Structure 1
């Protein structure tokens, strides 16, 4: 951009914002490029500085630009977010490397849907039919409603937890609204915030969940929503204790219209009690429970319990003829969730994950690394050196893990000293070998 700023035009905030947007769309302004200082652009256009400020605010709220303090306003350049699942192949990755950073459930423990498919068949669903399968809605009201009672609960079905987050943000927030989220955090949640233009406000965790001080600080920054994982936090495995949940509800009591979203992704597999941040008098809330961890990621079904107003806003984006989750998938999920054999398999899977995670932590202890198993599919392993460096050394030894740096909400945060390791599929000897490799790699 030249010093005369001739490429930007307009006399109102809307016109200036549209002019900058056009330059971005044409590629004349690239991600990371600095926009003119407010005073300089106002003088160039012959307008009041407040008009330029308003234009930049419009651009920021739409996710097109971002403020950088003394560095001014720049074209938004979302930082890439790592993806869940298997690590991408790279030329420098050893061919024999074992991927233990996936965060995946054990395929052998995902129930076979074959028997339930016959029960899922039924009359065709046509335009104008209810969006939520009545049977699944009744089951969800009994199960989710029991954890939220007494209150007026409404049920919506979305295409998984990530779809639920995206639809809740779009229905209830405006780009530019700040959202509190755990740090380190769930990769999909971080990605959804960034691409939607919702500035993330990181909230730290300790062994009892998100901290009271962190939540209070986020609310003081004006967040419009709080996203948290009540149990089996990904990546740390932390679950919110009943004591901490009560403290957090007390803080939220003064902010009843801040949307509280609880992503209880592990639900039926969890060994910990569900302790909720949603107080009895809280006005805007959503409890999201997907079936991905126990019925398989490809099921793409999540149950969303909300207050009536949130359900109404969410329902505007989930209507027959517009977008809804296949009733075949909904019926299949219900058939499996109400099948005694399937539920017994889910209970056995829960025991397996808890036992194998505990065994891996015991192996780490034998090699001098103190580690709590937590809850979930993975174990959060503390390491002495920066996690990226340790992960690199482990790759050379044939083990692919996930560095805690990948889960940071803020790219400017200090280096992580934690690794997320998915070791539940390893036998005892393999777990011991991995624990030894981590111990040997923990120090340079």
Structure 2
């Protein structure tokens, strides 16, 4: 007789969190012959492996006990000094005490959600927006309400109605080379958003993993550096797209109260981000020319973006549209009504090419005619070949 009792089921937040369509797409494209435009991966061949290797060699040779021991929750002091210096050069005067190093900027978003938002609270998001942010909010029991967007990003004029109706606590956005669309919020809208948040008592979460990958046009100010928003904006950054994603290093810059609360929350997660990875990054920033490295990346990404747009222009059916970003990694495509990118993906993989369907990036009803394509990981010849494989499916 079997008298065992099964264990309880998953917690509601665990059961509610679905798998990432991006991870599933990457799994589908594991075969080396597949040309994948799916993942937001930086170009592997552009990673400065020699410089990174030398940085690890140095810290393990000269300060192994510091690099391999427990460290500060707030992060390596030298790394925070280096990040603060880069922010200051970009126009955000600050210091290391305003920074918290995180295990990727995804952890920073998780921490912020836990300290700023309670279950049942509402956050406004771009429509479409970063898929992992939607998953983070869902897991926390936070309701994400979409704000309409156009080719210049979030529609600030739509905010009064949405705030009156939903009473949100925060606005989350990726204002520069947005994921998934590649759009960039203009300076006048950034200023209007800052003024609006100040008048209505809203937090702003400004996610900026791609800002240093501009290959055309002039740099725009962070929302965090605008006077109206300085006391209410949390700026998220990452080394994944500019140094190496495998190091899993991100950071958040926040008002003191928020940074302290995030540090306490982080202590319960992982105590601190990998000390050896932080030490290596700090060493790299001290002795290598990151700006020269980024200049090479920008040149390559400009060529790859142009190659993808040229190839798409030749094969997309009439009535299609695609974004034309000034930086970052992504092009957003909308096919004519009647096309379904979700259904198209398995057929594309059969043709050894892949993309990410756009529908999961929407907080509301997804537009199934949309898809996201990343140009960063392939050279122009491979990009042209990949779009050529996709072309028969679009006829």
TM over 0.5: yes
Given the superposition, is the C-alpha separation of residues 209 and 84 from structure 1 closer, same or farther in structure 2, using an over 3 Å criterion?
Answer: farther
Query: Is 1:179–1:199's contact at 8 Å kept on the other side of the alignment?
Result: yes
Partner in structure 2 of residue 142 of structure 1: 85
Partner in structure 2 of residue 183 of structure 1: 127
Given the superposition, is the C-alpha separation of residues 129 and 244 from structure 1 closer, same or farther in structure 2, using an over 3 Å criterion?
Answer: closer
Offset, 1:390? 3.5
Query: Is 1:172–1:313's contact at 8 Å kept on the other side of the alignment?
Result: no
Partner in structure 2 of residue 124 of structure 1: 65
Partner in structure 1 of residue 279 of structure 2: 331
Which of 360, 364, 368 lines up with 1:406 in the alignment?
Answer: 360
CA distance in structure 1 between the aligned counterparts of 2:280 and 2:32, rounded to whole angstroms: 39
CA distance in structure 2 between the aligned counterparts of 1:381 and 1:352, rounded to whole angstroms: 21
Partner in structure 2 of residue 380 of structure 1: 332
Which of 418, 424, 434 lines up with 2:370 in the alignment?
Answer: 418
Which of 186, 194, 205 lines up with 1:249 in the alignment?
Answer: 194
Moved more, 360-369 or 191-200: 360-369
Offset, 1:223? 1.2
Given the superposition, is the C-alpha separation of residues 202 and 84 from structure 1 closer, same or farther in structure 2, using an over 3 Å criterion?
Answer: farther
Partner in structure 1 of residue 383 of structure 2: 431
Partner in structure 2 of residue 264 of structure 1: 208
Partner in structure 1 of residue 44 of structure 2: 107
Aligned runs of 1:143-222 on 2, under 5 Å?
Answer: 143-147=86-90, 149=92, 154-220=98-164, 221-222=166-167
CA distance in structure 1 between the aligned counterparts of 2:73 and 2:114, rounded to whole angstroms: 22
Partner in structure 2 of residue 69 of structure 1: none
Query: Is 1:264–1:287's contact at 8 Å kept on the other side of the alignment?
Result: yes
Partner in structure 2 of residue 395 of structure 1: 349
Partner in structure 2 of residue 365 of structure 1: 313
Offset, 1:322? 6.6
**What's the CA shift string for 1:49-94, capped at 9, x where partnerless?**
xxxxxxxxxxxxx969xxxxxxxxxxx844544244862239xx99
Which runs of 5 or more residues in structure 2 are unaligned?
1-6
What TM-score results when the alignment is normalised by the length of structure 2? Answer: 0.82
Which runs of 5 or more residues in structure 1 are unaligned?
1-24, 32-61, 65-75
Offset, 1:150? 5.6
Query: Is 1:130–1:320's contact at 8 Å kept on the other side of the alignment?
Result: no
CA distance in structure 2 between the aligned counterparts of 1:180 and 1:303, rounded to whole angstroms: 22
CA distance in structure 1 between the aligned counterparts of 2:71 and 2:268, rounded to whole angstroms: 5
CA distance in structure 2 between the aligned counterparts of 1:321 and 1:179, rounded to whole angstroms: 23
What TM-score results when the alignment is normalised by the length of structure 1? Answer: 0.74
**What's the CA shift string for 1:283-303, capped at 9, x where partnerless?**
332111110112221111112
CA distance in structure 1 between the aligned counterparts of 2:384 and 2:290, rounded to whole angstroms: 32
**What's the CA shift string for 1:288-333, capped at 9, x where partnerless?**
1110112221111112111112112112224599711133221211
Offset, 1:136? 1.6
Alignment RMSD (CA, Å): 3.1
Aligned length: 371
**Given the alignment of the two structures, is residue 277 of structure 1 paired with residue 228 of structure 2, yes or no?**
no
CA distance in structure 1 between the aligned counterparts of 2:279 and 2:378, rounded to whole angstroms: 34
Query: Is 1:63–1:176's contact at 8 Å kept on the other side of the alignment?
Result: no
Q: 3-state DSSP class of the match of 1:260?
A: strand
CA distance in structure 2 between the aligned counterparts of 1:193 and 1:396, rounded to whole angstroms: 34
Moved more, 267-276 or 300-309: 267-276
CA distance in structure 2 between the aligned counterparts of 1:339 and 1:127, rounded to whole angstroms: 24
Which of 171, 177, 181 lines up with 1:236 in the alignment?
Answer: 181
Given the superposition, is the C-alpha separation of residues 304 and 351 from structure 1 closer, same or farther in structure 2, using an over 3 Å criterion?
Answer: same
Query: Is 1:85–1:104's contact at 8 Å kept on the other side of the alignment?
Result: no
Q: 3-state DSSP class of the match of 2:241?
A: helix
Offset, 1:428? 4.1
Query: Is 2:87–2:94's contact at 8 Å kept on the other side of the alignment?
Result: no
Given the superposition, is the C-alpha separation of residues 373 and 358 from structure 1 closer, same or farther in structure 2, using an over 3 Å criterion?
Answer: farther
Moved more, 184-193 or 331-340: 331-340
